Structure 1
Amino acid sequence: MSHVSTSVAPSNNPVELKPIAFWAPTIKVQRILALLLLIFQGGITVTGSIVRVTGSGLGCDTWPLCHEGSLVPVAGAAPWIHQAVEFGNRMLTFVLIAAALAVFLAVLGAKRRREIVVNSFVQGLGIILQAIIGGITVLVDLHWYAVALHFLPSMILVFLAAILYTRIGEPDDGEVTTMFPNWIRNVAIVGAIALAVVLITGTMTTGAGVHSGDSGVGMEGRLEVSIDWMAHVHGYSMYVYLFFTLIVVAGLYKVKASQHNKKLGLMLIVFILIQAGIGILQYRMGVPRWSIPFHIAMSSVVVAFTSLLWAQGRVRVGGTATIAGSVDGDIKNIALAESKKVGK
């Protein structure tokens, strides 16, 4: 490890290993954990949509228990398939919590900068909040506004998880560098606002539709507007978002941005077009159940790539902390490696 020896000068002082005394994960390990968290944040929205389209939303009719007096499904309390789907979705929350905890402990162990630690903490806090919102959704019998409020925070968490993934890859002692001109970043902000409108009108379109989340609920508690009108508003807002994204990507080519950033922009445009195609297909076919999980999955993909592109506008470049991501983390990583050699 001679290539890093100059950054770890000998010292008579003992190396401070806290917090997480015996773990200083590398940037690669941190990013893998952050990527898994990002995938799980998007994935749970898909399993949630499966709950809805299978009419399993009240397969567990209370919260935090599945049924009154029972944490797990009860034979005969509801159709077994509905109980299995809803209870399975609830259990995935614990997988998500484990992923968030792993990222939080990893960035603490690597002594990453405050921005990263706070973002990772917000992920865990958001998951807990989402579980509570999910419980309220069940308790109000899947009223459309509760379902909408359950979905939208997930998109915020996906957006933040993508930023976290990006920031973890930047050395903490790197210099903050603006990669895009301000006008591109300003257009990107307008695009992000347009994306928020797309997501909100999407939940309203769902709220006006037939898939309430439970086969026994019917159209009670649904949004009382014309679904045809609402679908058109949602579709037009998508075109507005696409328009501003095209401007951003054209700007990246105009200013000769990096190949990585131009590739991210092109991929985002492709995903938006795929999502628009799915939406149009849904409208033409009368919103078939099987199409909804695909539409929800692409929502997470579009939000994630929007965030990844946005995060590239201002990054940390250079720096010497190339092992664990922070100078102290690098020192700790090397110290732990040396202690293991001595232990052998």
Structure 2
Amino acid sequence: MAAVVMSVLIVVTGGAVRLTSSGLGCPTWPTCTNDSLTTTSAMGIHGAIEFTNRMLTYVLCAAVGWAIIAARSAKPWRRGLTRLGWAQFWVVMGNAVLGGAAVLTHLNPYVVASHFMLSPLLITFAVLTWQRSREGDGAPRPLVGKPVVQLTWVLAAATGALIAVGTLVTGAGPHAGDRSDVPRVPIDWKTIAQLHADLAWVVCGLATALWFMLRAVDAPGGPRHRVRDLLVVLLSQGVIGYVQYFTHLPELLVGLHMLGAALIWIAVVRVLLSLRERPHADTPVPAPAELQAPQPAPTA
């Protein structure tokens, strides 16, 4: 859970770097300047903000390392759980390299967008690790039918597209990440923002359809509750999105919108995971009621 929290926090602090125009507060990488590993007083508040975000990467690494050690020390050892922990580590390392590339390319918007798009992957592995630590290693048993699973995957794909287009909105919008002449995505940000809004309505429609489908098939409470949670986060995110658009993208609301994007992805992953259960390998899986042998009637 510490790794999950830190994977979200690093998104928020990365957004703070951009929204305070501190993206080049440390003008080089991996050091802060050519002559100093850390920020200096001459670099002011922007250097402090950028350097703080870099230092939080080490806190994230510590949380991921803690998860790896805990998984490796568990009795009995679970190979799959350990691999999920290491997957988080390698994504963090890859994202650190992309973050450095963003600085070295003077905040190229496509590199910055790629830097952000690795965050949902990190969040996915962190949530998977957390969920699998609370389950067994038995074969997954579906709790819903195939049409529900297919609709959920369509919802996940649409949500991924929504987040990806959101990075283009940021790449074309006014928050370039630094006060210098930073290159932008050569499209009108209002046009791409309209596409982003359209995709948001598609995701909301798919989530609503999934909720009604789960009720129609009398699905277990777990999947229905996870979809309900997703709808709450989506509606909250939609309100923030429209308010920030009509108020000309104030920094605080944009930061909250980035937090909302991370929470939406967590909610989508949890919906997918709620569609099955994984008992412990030595736990017998009960047969459906219609397949169970009838019990003899009690005698007098």
CA offsets per residue over residues 76-109 of structure 1, 9 Å max, x none? 2x2x110110000000000000010110111111
| Contact 1:160 1:307 survives alignment (8 Å) | no
| Contact 2:101 2:111 survives alignment (8 Å) | yes
Structure 2 unaligned runs (5+)?
Answer: 284-300
Distance 1:246 1:113 in 2: 37
Tell me which residue corresponds to 2:132. Answer: 167
Structure 2 counterparts to residues 158-307 of structure 1, below 5 A: 158-172=123-137, 174-217=138-181, 220-307=182-269
Tell me which residue corresponds to 2:60. Answer: 96
Tell me which residue corresponds to 1:70. Answer: 36
Over the aligned positions, Cα root-mean-square deviation in angstroms equals 1.4
Tell me which residue corresponds to 1:107. Answer: 71
- Equivalent position to 1:131, from 96, 103, 112: 96
Structure 2 counterparts to residues 298-317 of structure 1, below 5 A: 298-317=260-279
| Contact 2:222 2:274 survives alignment (8 Å) | no
CA offsets per residue over residues 272-318 of structure 1, 9 Å max, x none? 11111111111111111111110011111100011011012222125
Secondary structure of the structure 2 residue equivalent to 1:317: coil
Q: Does 1:148 align with 2:113?
A: yes
Distance 1:306 1:39 in 2: 16
Distance 2:146 2:266 in 1: 22
Secondary structure of the structure 2 residue equivalent to 1:65: coil
| Contact 2:20 2:177 survives alignment (8 Å) | yes
Count of aligned pairs = 282
In the superposition, the TM-score normalised over structure 2's length comes to: 0.90
Higher relative contact order (CA 8 A, sep 6+): 1
Distance 2:168 2:254 in 1: 14
Tell me which residue corresponds to 1:326. Answer: none
Displacement of 1:119: 1.3
Tell me which residue corresponds to 2:288. Answer: none
Distance 1:268 1:115 in 2: 27
Aligned-partner residue type, residue 186 of structure 1: Q
Aligned-partner residue type, residue 131 of structure 1: A
| Contact 1:60 1:73 survives alignment (8 Å) | yes
Aligned-partner residue type, residue 50 of structure 1: A
Secondary structure of the structure 1 residue equivalent to 2:135: coil
In the superposition, the TM-score normalised over structure 1's length comes to: 0.79
Distance 1:240 1:112 in 2: 42
Displacement of 1:160: 2.3
Structure 1 unaligned runs (5+)?
Answer: 1-34, 322-344
Distance 2:267 2:141 in 1: 20
- Equivalent position to 2:7, from 26, 37, 41: 41
